[in-house]
Every structure is written in structure tokens, then in C-alpha cells.
Structure 1
Amino acid sequence: MTAQQLAQRHHIDTILSYAEGGQSATEFPETELIGRSWKRCISEYGLDPSQPRSARIVTQQTLREHQDSVDEFLNVARAGVEQLYGMISHLGYVLLLTDHRGITVQYLGDRRSDRRLRQAGLYLGADWSEQYAGTCAVGTCIAEHQALTCHRVDHFDATHISLTCTSAPILDPSGKLLAVLDISALDSPQARYSQTFALNLTQLYARMIEDAYFLRRYRNQVIFRCDASREFVQVNGQYLFAIDEAGRVEASNTAGRALIGDMPRQKAMGQKPGLTQFFECQLEDIWSIPFDQDDQVRAFRRQGSGDTFFAALIQPRIVSPRSAGTETFAADEQVPGLDRLAADDPVMRRTLGLAKRLRNRDVGLLILGETGTGKEILARAIHESSNRSKRSFVAVNCAAIPESLIESELFGYVAGAFTGARTKGMRGLIQQADGGTLFLDEIGDMPLQLQTRLLRVLAEGEILPIGADRPVRVNCRVIAATHQDLGQLIERGDFRADLYYRLNGASLKLPPLRQRADRLHVIHSVLDNLIAGGGLSAVRLRADAVSALLAYDWPGNIRQLVNALMFAEATCDGGEITANDLPEECVSDRMPPLENDLSATGPESTPLLNALHAHHWNISAVARQFGVSRPTVYRWMGQQGIILPRFLGRGDVSGR
């Protein structure tokens, strides 16, 4: 038996003895963390240390799927990974970057040792999950959410006892494991302390990559960056917080979460913590940071402890003019197609300012807002204001297409692809949008299977129609929209996180109509557009109608407003819409005056009949007398058994 075989045999006996509760303390793992992993391997995963496993390398297709799932992250991480490898390669290390499941999605190593590295599993596509590989740096880091060195005999698998591997977790802005950074060597010194520097270096770069990804994710928001050192805050501030206009924390990096506590739990309880809760300051102190000092840094004391931190603000990037005479992208640029969508509402101004800057950029846009807030209107305005305006705008309602048809509708098919297919095939909606804009409304309702195919389209710029053997290149700008909370869908497993990050290059938030400061502008704009489009005859709004429209809560938002104005125009007299012409729900909170002899459900039969006779059965006039809408008068008549005289036509009843 060789020395290597003897060492492996001894290692197997050590693990079995530990699992059985043996007392040879010197033989046991040096840390509790490794011990917990050994126990999981035996009791939870059913691994047998006497049956070593060969390295598992996933197929190219599976590897591609894992890489696609973290595509945006890999783009950010690449620079840090290459820089770290440049520092360690001459020491015999290889570098692995795995996803949260332990699959190696990026690898840098010495090609001269390619065969040995692949055999050991230090290779692209290798599965280092603890369930398969046993105790190892990557798998145990995933299980424990903790940086560690798995040195030689710490490994569960006896074939790994010559390896030394050091891993550190990389978390996303919500605190969930996103990836693992690992440096490993085939042969290492016996002493564990030889890897102390490796552990510190791996943790440092994991933090740098994590923070770079955070800054990328929240590049369109203000970042409050702070540190205990004034000199380093601008270049390497440890704590990062993405904040809104009220100074509330939208997200933070790992160090930031540690500083302010369990923010995900607070957000789950419907709370959004503000920076003024953690620092002794007012909101204006935060926004004045860039102007108070020459170095654009300001000191803050932490609430309770009195510790001093130094903070700077990272403002959202504004694209500047490329050169004299070229188009500019300033927020105050005049873009009529977008400017007409709002007046003086602050939220809409920010949304439209961002839309102006990004309208000619091929960055994915995700429009968020309640049902009926005008998401498709905004998407169409962005398209018509962009350099793609001469090509097609194709809108797809992902919730309206039957699941059995959505794949053929989106991707198309070739002739004879399936029974019932058109003889010449069909170009899918994605292909129809080539050169233009594809608008995916209600993206949260897209089936998971199609989410995977859509991700491939976005990543590679090509589609594969049903029945085709060759992909078709497409170049379309994708704008998605939803009224759902995609974060919750991702947590439930109903929406792919990687697709969300691909679509959400920037979020455009549309406030509900009830919260808009420019409701009057919206009301008049909708009415003018309906008239100009031929949907309504020329009418005007009387002051009482305007007051009722402004006071109403609009649960259906702009879509409900359109329907209300169309109803009012159809029932009004003399080209003037009054409050009495509006749908009943829009004025239901207006209590009729007592002097009109109203009961709980309407006027008694005699007062209502007298009013109908007095106004010659003109329903509009009766509604105005009682201060209610026309449908309410009809409802009262039905409740009280009052029937219109047969000699009256519809025109007499309506007062037209």
C-alpha cells in the first residue's frame, strides 16, 4: 500500500471514529464548523467516507444554464476575479467562482496542470456542493454562510486530503447567498496557518465584488456611503446604503446590514428604516453632504453609541452629451412624447427624467405600477421618442395569452411544426419586434418554462422558432411591466431571479392616480386625448364634475378614469359633463341634501314621480335636482316600480 493510500485509509478511519463518538481528540477536526459538516455528510446526506467520489463536472448545457442565471453578476465580478488570480497564480492556486448551488461558473487556472485539476474537480462546471462533494470549502461555505479554509484532512472525501481550499460567500443586496469565491491549490504545506493570508485575501475580494455588484444594481439611486475613516470613505467606504428621496434605506451591503440591524426583517414587516434612525441627523443633513465641505464628506454620530462615521453621497449617473451638436440626455431635455405624460408630480418627473436619459439605450426597463396606471402608455412613449420609433412597437400581454399558445405566439413556428399550424409558418411576436420595441406587459404571469427561453433571447439576441433547426437573430429593445411584487414571486419560486435582473436594467415607477399631485392635468389630458382620437364628442367638464373627479380615490387608476369620462360623455347634456353625469361610484360619497325628501335608498315614490313629471321625464334634469348621477335615478325607479311612459323615446328620457 502506497503512502497516499495509507493516508487516505487513516483519514477514513478518523471520520468514522468521529461519527461514532470516538475520543481521539487529536484526530478530530480543528474547528466546530468542520465537525458540523462531517456530521451532515454522514447523517443528512448519507455519504460514506470509504467510498470516495470522482469529481462531478456538469454538461455544457447545464453549465450554460447556471452561468445564465448569474449573467449580470459575472459581468461585474470578472474584473475582481482576474485581479485576484493575477495575485495568486504564481503561488500555485487556481480560482473558482461558483453560484449559490456550488456549480463552478468561472474558473482560472494553469493549463499546464489541466488534467490533474480536472481530475480533482478544480475546474469549470465542477459541482462542489456539500451534498455531493462532502466537506469542502465551497460546499461548507454555502451551508454555513461563512468564510473558511478547508485544509487538507478537513475534507470529507479522502481523495481531497492533499488540497487546501479557501472560500468566502458573496451575498446579494437582500442578504441572500449569490455566489462563492474560492482559491484552491492541489498541493499545500501541512500547517493550517499557511493559509491565513489566503483567507483574508479571499474575504477582501469577495467583499469588493459584492460591493461592486451592489453599486451596479443601485446605480440609478442615491448611495449613502460611509466609513470610520474620512480619508477612505470616497474610495473604499465600507458601508453602502441605497436610499430614496426621504432618506429611507432601500437596500444595503453586508457591512451596512450589520451596522443597522436586520433590515430584511423590518422590510418584511412593512417597515422601511430611515438613516435618521441610525445617525444623529436630520434629512437635510444628508442631502447637503456634497455642499458642506470641500471634500464632499460629512461626519455623523451613530445613535446610541456615539461612534463617528464619515459619509459621502454617490449620485445617480447622468449621461452627458457625447459631443457638440449631438443629442443630449439631460433630465430637463424637452421630449414632447414623454413630457405630456405628467405635469408637476415629483415622482412622475423623476420617472420621466430617467426615461429620457435611457430612451436610446439598449438597457432593459421594468415599469412598475398598479393596474391601470398607464404602463403601456409610458412604454409606447419611450419607443416613439427613441431612435427605434420607425420600427414596430409590439405589445404582449403575458396574462392574456393562453399558456398553451404563448410559446408559439412569442417565438413563432416553421411550416408543419405541429398539427393545425399555418402552412407557411408564422413569425412570432419577438421577431415582429425586430429593430423596434417588445413590450411584455404583466411579465409576472409568464410561465417559468418560457422565462428560461426568454432569458436566452435576451442574453444571445436570437430565437429558435418551434420546429426550426437554426436560430434567427433579433434585435429588439425589451420593456417589461408588472403590477405584481416580483421579489415575492422570486421568493416563492414563481419567477426567475436572473430574468428579473436582466429585465431590470432600470425601474420606472408609476404612482397610482390617487397619489399624483397632477391629477387635474391627467384628467384634462385623458379627456383631450379621447376627444382628439374620436372616442368622444367635444365636451367640457363643469367645476362640480372636476371636484368630484379630484376627490375620488380611483382604485382602477387611469384606465378607470377613461371609462368614467366615456360614460359621462355618453350621458351628459349640452356638451357639458357635470357631477350628475359621472358613474355612481365616482360620486357615491356625496350625500344628497335632506330638503329633497330622500330616504335611505332614495326619494319616496311621490317626490320622485313629481320630479319626473315636472321635468317631463328628463332623467338628467331629475338627477341634477337630487344631486345624484343618472344611473342612480334609474336604480331608484327600478326599486319603486316606476316605468317610463311608452310614448317616450330614448332621446326624451336622456334629455338630448
Structure 2
Amino acid sequence: MAYTSRPAENRAHADIVTATALSANGPARSPVAASWWRSLVQHGLDPASARTRRAETLSELELRQRIEKSDLLMHVARARLDHLYKCVSLSACGVFLSDADGVVLDARWRSGDQSSFESWGLRPGRSWSEAAVGTNGIGTCLAEERPLIIHRDEHFLDRNIAMSCIDAPIYGADGRLIGALDISSARSDQTASANQLIAALVRQAARQIEADCFRHDHSGQRIILVDDDDDTESAGGDAAALVAVDENDLVVGATRAARLTLGLVAAGRFSPVPADDLLAKGAPESGFASAERSAILKALARRRGNASRAAEDLGIGRATLYRRMKRLGLQSRFEQN
């Protein structure tokens, strides 16, 4: 449920935000109202823009340092931002990339829309964290770590209610939040249905950026797409569920979506896990497993049961071969030598 000023046009936006945020059940019934409560109570902001503190604006040096810190994200995202901008530029939309703190690092917009975005402070170097400007696309997306839409008067500050913001979080190769991808509209007639169409583009582009970052970080390793039959947000939804497998057939990396799907730690390093144990858990022996059994049996037969030489032929380590033989029930049939 979204709380807007339309049902009570005689009341100012700031009054509606304050009343809803402090109501007994408003924040519990609406994610937008919950964000309004955080903005008002936790961050001490005032929805009346004339009386609120100004958001932080970085100096050129500080912005350059931020960009350098997010060098991989900037490098990988550039082409995706260009493509996304081509898709929405004629709709008076701008494309924005922030870091994990909500600082805008890069932007795309038409020259005719530049004054609108800059009047809102939506430009590189400006902080759009929820703590700085209250409920907004970038800041609330980062605070809640989920894709979302903040449409017009769902914004906390009354000076921002003319725009619509559509956002998706971006996670790094280690599963940690590294930024947000935002499309904001300067159109006064932007509709909720148009926002939903744009939201699909934003989510797809964010997941592509994640996948590109992951492949860059695990260059030289096998990248495997993890099947995800669960379309819920907690399991990753439409996210890029990828794992990286090293030369010893151990899973040594996984995207955020893959971690959630496979039950790995959501962010940070994890102990390497045998790919067989992780990816074939509970699966019947068919397809890949059947082909694997056949390949191992043939290699062992050619080497008269010598597992060490069979492992060499298969291009894997002896320990890896033993693990696979044990899983397939073959270990007792051949002498380990």
C-alpha cells in the first residue's frame, strides 16, 4: 500500500508524511511508510525541504576517490548504462549509478532534462542515501537491499515528489552490496504501469552488471549457472545465480543469488565446497551424473584400476577423483593406488 497526498489534497505532503510515519499501524502496513518512519525518527529529517539539511555533496577530489574505489563496478557498468540509457532516454528518464553509500558516481541524461535532475541534486557527487534525503529510490533500495519503485509523492522530501525512481541493488563477486542502479523520470505524467516496465529493465541490467563483475573476479575459472526453480525474492528471483569452480572441482565463489539458492553464507568468503556435493545435492543419477560415472569407469578400465593414472587422464586431482568415486559408489570396486 502506498500513502500519497491525493486522498487529502488540502493537506501538505510534509503533513501526510509525518502523520503516516507516526501513526500506530502505518509503518507496519506499508514499506513506504516504514521508510518515512526511518527518515523522520531514525535520521531526524524534516519532509519540508525548506527546513531539512542539505544532502552531502562531494568535492571533485572526493568524487574521484570514490570512483577509483569502485573502479571495477564503473568499468563493468559503463556499457550497461549506455544501453539502458538508449532504451529510456526518449521518456525523459535519466540513468544513475551509485556506490553502496548512496553517492552517485555516474549518470546519463538528455541535455533537455539536465536542469530538472540537477535541481533535485540528482547528479554525480551527491549523496542520495536514506539518511541524507529520506525515502528515495537509491537510498531506500540500498537500505532495504531489494528492487523497488518510489513513485512521485512516495518520496519523503516534498521537493522530490515530482519524480519517479526505479532501482535495483548491485552485489559484488563476494555477495556484498556495492551499489544501486537507478532510473529516474522527470516526466510529470509518468505512470505506475510505465514504472513497472522500466523496473524489469533495471533489474535485468543490475543482474548483468553483477554477472560481469563475478566473471571478471573469477577469470580463468569455470563459471556454472545454478538452476533456481524458486522465483521468490529470498532465493534470488531473476538474479544471476553463478558459481565459480576451480581446477580441483571445488566451488570457490558464488554470486549473491547462488549463495541464497545453495544455502551458502550470503556475503564474504566461504570454505571451498566440492562442486559435486553442492550442485548435485539430492538429485537422482541422470544426465551429468550418469555421464560422469561412465567417464570414470572408462578411465579406470583403461588404466586397469589405477586411480592415480585415471585421474591424470581425466585432468583432475587424485583426491577429486576419490571423492567422485565415493559419491558414485565406485570406491570399493577399485584399489586406490
TM-score of the aligned structures, taking structure 1 as reference length: 0.39
CA distance in 1 between partners of 2:254 and 2:64 (Å):
30
Partner of 1:10: 12
Matched ranges for 1:84-483 at <5 A: 84-189=84-189, 191-227=191-227, 238-263=240-265, 271-280=271-280, 303-304=281-282
Counterpart code for 1:154: E
CA distance in 2 between partners of 1:49 and 1:221 (Å):
50
Q: Secondary structure at the match of 2:207?
A: helix
Relative to 1, partners in 2 of residues 1:52 and 1:201: Cα closer, same or farther, differing over 3 Å? same
Relative to 1, partners in 2 of residues 1:117 and 1:144: Cα closer, same or farther, differing over 3 Å? same
CA distance in 1 between partners of 2:265 and 2:285 (Å):
20
Query: Cα offset for 1:12?
Result: 0.9
Query: Cα offset for 1:162?
Result: 1.0
CA distance in 2 between partners of 1:9 and 1:192 (Å):
23
Counterpart code for 1:218: H
Partner of 1:596: none
CA distance in 1 between partners of 2:267 and 2:77 (Å):
28
Relative to 1, partners in 2 of residues 1:184 and 1:53: Cα closer, same or farther, differing over 3 Å? farther
Q: Secondary structure at the match of 1:122?
A: coil
Q: Secondary structure at the match of 2:261?
A: helix
CA distance in 2 between partners of 1:8 and 1:224 (Å):
57
Choose 1 or 2 for highest CA Rg.
1
Deviations 1:118-141 (A, max 9, x none): 111221222101111100010011
Q: Secondary structure at the match of 2:98?
A: strand
Whether 1:37 and 2:58 are equivalent positions in the alignment is no
Query: Cα offset for 1:77?
Result: 1.0
Partner of 1:80: 80
Partner of 2:233: none
Q: Secondary structure at the match of 2:273?
A: coil
Query: Cα offset for 1:304?
Result: 2.8
CA distance in 2 between partners of 1:16 and 1:97 (Å):
30
CA distance in 1 between partners of 2:119 and 2:82 (Å):
23
Deviations 1:291-324 (A, max 9, x none): xxxxxxxxxxxx236699989xxxxxxxxxxxxx
CA distance in 1 between partners of 2:252 and 2:46 (Å):
46
Q: Report if aligned partners of 1:52, 1:158 keep a CA contact under 8 Å in 2.
A: no
Counterpart code for 1:112: G
Q: Report if aligned partners of 1:55, 1:119 keep a CA contact under 8 Å in 2.
A: no
Relative to 1, partners in 2 of residues 1:54 and 1:138: Cα closer, same or farther, differing over 3 Å? same
Partner of 1:344: none
Q: Percent identity?
A: 29
Relative to 1, partners in 2 of residues 1:180 and 1:310: Cα closer, same or farther, differing over 3 Å? farther
Partner of 1:552: none
CA distance in 2 between partners of 1:95 and 1:211 (Å):
19
Partner of 2:45: 47
Q: Secondary structure at the match of 1:189?
A: coil
Q: Report if aligned partners of 2:97, 2:181 keep a CA contact under 8 Å in 1.
A: yes
Counterpart code for 1:137: G
CA distance in 2 between partners of 1:261 and 1:132 (Å):
34
Query: Cα offset for 1:164?
Result: 0.2
CA distance in 2 between partners of 1:21 and 1:35 (Å):
9
- For residue 21 of structure 1, the aligned residue among 12, 20, 23 is 23
CA distance in 2 between partners of 1:238 and 1:47 (Å):
36
Partner of 2:335: none
Relative to 1, partners in 2 of residues 1:188 and 1:200: Cα closer, same or farther, differing over 3 Å? farther
Query: Cα offset for 1:259?
Result: 2.1
Relative to 1, partners in 2 of residues 1:241 and 1:137: Cα closer, same or farther, differing over 3 Å? same
Counterpart code for 1:222: R
Q: Secondary structure at the match of 1:143?
A: helix
Matched ranges for 1:460-539 at <5 A: none
Q: Secondary structure at the match of 2:276?
A: helix
Relative to 1, partners in 2 of residues 1:30 and 1:168: Cα closer, same or farther, differing over 3 Å? farther
Q: Report if aligned partners of 1:228, 1:308 keep a CA contact under 8 Å in 2.
A: no
Q: Secondary structure at the match of 1:262?
A: coil
CA distance in 1 between partners of 2:40 and 2:250 (Å):
46
Query: Cα offset for 1:31?
Result: 6.7
TM-score of the aligned structures, taking structure 2 as reference length: 0.72
User: Which structure's relative contact order is higher, taking Cα pairs within 8 Å and 6+ residues apart?
Assistant: 2
> What is the CA RMSD across the aligned residues, in angstroms?
3.2
Query: Cα offset for 1:22?
Result: 6.2
Counterpart code for 2:187: D
Q: Secondary structure at the match of 1:179?
A: strand
Counterpart code for 2:253: A
Relative to 1, partners in 2 of residues 1:201 and 1:127: Cα closer, same or farther, differing over 3 Å? same
Query: Cα offset for 1:20?
Result: 2.8
Query: Cα offset for 1:174?
Result: 1.6
Relative to 1, partners in 2 of residues 1:177 and 1:266: Cα closer, same or farther, differing over 3 Å? closer
Q: Secondary structure at the match of 1:276?
A: helix
Q: Report if aligned partners of 1:226, 1:309 keep a CA contact under 8 Å in 2.
A: no
Counterpart code for 2:72: E
